[in-house]
Structure 1
Amino acid sequence: MANNIADIRKDYKLRTLSESEVSPEPIGQFDKWWQEAIHSDLDEPNAMTLATATADGMPDARIVLLKGFDQTGFTFFTNYDSAKGQQLLENPRATLVFFWRELERQIRISGLIAQTTPAISDDYFNSRPEGSRLGAWASPQSDAIENREWLEANEKKFVEEFSDKPITRPPHWGGYVLKPVRVEFWQGRPSRLHDRICYSLLPSGQWKIQRLAP
């Protein structure tokens, strides 16, 4: 079995990435690749790994969904009381990783995390399907629960509670924005000689662009 796993490999040949063709700042370059991902009809191109760490340095990671990006950073939403919410409270630094297999591309974005404004959280929460809004109330995310029946009973309780009034955003649920300080764009190339272009934020606020060895 171990030998079979070791034999799994793919030679990447689709595209290239050079310093001469990238944007002067990473959000612009991300937008270029994002538009290509959208027009390539990828399955959930906004799915990304969110890597966090506890105050004492224990790492953790999971898949979340990107819900917006602009010059301020990359936005996602979750339960503030969850394990990742607690980790981000203790250590407000994180890394996002996108892997678009069909385009042979990976993006790593590291930076500082802050909660979005309540207005931004409200706007997104109110745009969600009713079931998702109720789920934000019903699920004490990351807590141990008795069984599936307990969760379904809790959901039923909130269905009844909000049967005759708007489903407001729970105070424990909202958005985060990651403000990048380092962004790497990886393009697969033959013989594992991949293209890696890295943006690093300088104290001046300018971005330094470097090619990294694969």
Structure 2
Amino acid sequence: MEAQLAQMRVDYRRDELDVGDLADTWYEQLARWLDDATADGVVEPNAMVLATTSDDCIPSTRTVLCKDVDERGVVFYTNYTSAKSHDLRTMRRAAATFPWYAQQRQVSLRGEVERVSNEETRAYWATRPRGSQLGAWASAQSAYVRDRDALDAALAVTERRFPETAEVPVPPHWGGWRIVPDRVEFWQGRANRMHDRLRFEQNAVDRSWQVRRLAP
């Protein structure tokens, strides 16, 4: 396997990216590439790898689903008692990467985090399938559980609590986080590993944005 891994490589030749190809803002460009990935049939094109850091400086990554993109930032939803939420409350910063391998593209961003409003959380919650709503009540995310039977039992209790005719409210321990980026990089694979890397960077003083090219 080690020899096979050493030989695994793809020569990227699908597309190119220059400053003139970019939208005026990072969020419009991200939306454009999300649309491209969706049109190409990418499975869960809104999946992003979220990186957080604990208060003892230990990093963690996991995949979450982006549920909103606008000028304010990138939003995902989760349990507020989870390990990731603990990291976010403590460190107040996060990073995320959208990996679109089929398009030979990725977008990486970083910035401060904030909780989304209760109104936004309720609006998104109303769009979730009932099963996902029940799961949010049943699962103490990131907590240790005895076995799978314990999880199934917790879901069964929740189903009895909210019968088919009952509305499932938003749990008090559940809601959205928004990453408010100060840096967003768009990466397009190119031949000979001479990839295109264009980064939107925000000026810390006047909050204006500029675009810079980086060496691959």
Identify the TM-score tier after normalising by the shorter chain: over 0.9
Q: Deviations over 1:101-151 (max 9, x none)?
A: 111001001111111011111111121111111100100000001111111
For residue 152 of structure 1, what is the aligned residue in structure 2? 152
- Aligned partner letter, 1:22: L
For residue 74 of structure 1, what is the aligned residue in structure 2? 74
- Among 207, 210, 213, the alignment partner of 2:212 is 210
For residue 55 of structure 1, what is the aligned residue in structure 2? 55
Give the TM-score taking structure 1 as reference length: 0.97
Aligned residue for 1:127, secondary structure, equals coil
Deviation at 1:55, TM superposition (A): 1.6
Alignment of 1:88-107 (within 5 A): 88-107=88-107
Report whether the alignment pairs 1:196 with 2:187.
no
- Aligned partner letter, 1:176: W
- Contact (CA 8 Å) 1:24, 1:207: kept in 2 or not? no
The CA distance in 2 between the partners of 1:77 and 1:104, in whole Å, is 27
| Residue identity (%) | 38
For residue 136 of structure 2, what is the aligned residue in structure 1? 136
Deviation at 1:37, TM superposition (A): 1.5
- Aligned partner letter, 2:25: E
Deviation at 1:154, TM superposition (A): 0.9
Deviation at 1:20, TM superposition (A): 2.1
Q: Which runs of 4+ in 1 moved over 6 A?
A: none
Q: Deviations over 1:61-99 (max 9, x none)?
A: 000001111111111100010010111011111111011
- Aligned partner letter, 1:212: L
Higher mean C-alpha displacement, 158-167 vs 51-60: 158-167
RMSD: 1.0
Deviation at 1:38, TM superposition (A): 1.9
The CA distance in 2 between the partners of 1:29 and 1:54, in whole Å, is 31
For residue 31 of structure 1, what is the aligned residue in structure 2? 31
The CA distance in 2 between the partners of 1:33 and 1:68, in whole Å, is 14
For residue 177 of structure 2, what is the aligned residue in structure 1? 176
Aligned residue for 2:102, secondary structure, equals helix
The CA distance in 1 between the partners of 2:155 and 2:37, in whole Å, is 36
- Contact (CA 8 Å) 1:200, 1:209: kept in 2 or not? yes
5+ residue gaps, structure 1, are none
Higher mean C-alpha displacement, 101-110 vs 30-39: 30-39
Deviation at 1:166, TM superposition (A): 1.6
**Corresponding pairs, count:** 214
Higher mean C-alpha displacement, 165-174 vs 7-16: 165-174
The CA distance in 1 between the partners of 2:32 and 2:193, in whole Å, is 24
Aligned residue for 2:32, secondary structure, equals helix
Deviation at 1:49, TM superposition (A): 0.2
The CA distance in 2 between the partners of 1:94 and 1:106, in whole Å, is 17
For residue 21 of structure 2, what is the aligned residue in structure 1? 21
Deviation at 1:45, TM superposition (A): 0.4
The CA distance in 1 between the partners of 2:116 and 2:103, in whole Å, is 31
Aligned residue for 1:102, secondary structure, equals coil
Aligned residue for 2:141, secondary structure, equals coil
5+ residue gaps, structure 2, are none
Deviation at 1:25, TM superposition (A): 2.1
Aligned residue for 2:182, secondary structure, equals strand
The CA distance in 2 between the partners of 1:205 and 1:87, in whole Å, is 26
